[in-house]
Amino acid sequence: MQNLKTEYQKQLLEATIDSQENERNRVGSELHDSVGAMLSTIRLNLKMASSDQTKLTEAASDITQYLDETIETVRSISRDLYPAGLKTFGLSGVLQELLERINKLNQLKIDFIEKNNSVRLSQKQELMIYRIIQELVNNALKHSRAHEIKIVFDWKQDELLINVSDDGIGFTSDQLDPTKRGIGLYNIANRAEVINAKVEFRNLENSGANIILTVPYSGMEHEGKED
């Protein structure tokens, strides 16, 4: 059992490192391919038009559009790295905004339900939970063949019980085996461990996957949000 635990922790560490490297590569690629290309285009337009006031005036509209697109791209990258509204609007607020954006894609229907009065958790807890939900939704979009996802937050007196279920193909036997999971599920398990939460992966009786996350908390301030 000790050997299994040590091996599991090693795999979690490796998955975390891989995830961090993948995230750095993704951000670097987006900065280079998107932001870098846009800024180069703006520079080229300015250089070509700088010698002629008439050309500069004509190019102003295009340059403004390129700048707007660059700003929006930087905002999108920043939002992925850290949700801008997390401190202000809390976990529920940024999750609703995320899920609304995904619902507009019409690839997946996501229902988000909260029970009882919600609580402001620590910054680390809220960020880790947000990342876990984000990972679960991404997995469903890419792999599960699901049409619907249901996310339920049940606020207890000293813990948050999160139940996520979909109508997809469910988990394979390897995915349910802690020693054989892919990076996605390892990331979820690792983030849960960071905030002392418990996570359980299982299949529903008919079809689909079910993930239960139990997050303990104490001494936090209530937001006063009703059922």
Does 73 score more than 80 pLDDT?
Answer: no
Predicted TM-score of the model (pTM): 0.65
Dump pLDDT digits (tens) for 101-158. Answer: 888 888 889 999 999 988 899 988 998 999 899 889 888 888 888 899 999 999 998 9
More confident position, 69 or 196: 196
pLDDT confidence band for 222 (50 / 70 / 90): very low
Dump pLDDT digits (tens) for 35-51. Answer: 777 787 787 777 777 77
Percent of the chain beyond pLDDT 90? 25
Distances from the Cα of 10 to the Cαs of 4, 63, 178, 181, 225, in angstroms? 10, 50, 12, 13, 40
Residue 201, Ramachandran bin (φ over 0: left; ψ between -120 and 50: alpha; else beta): beta
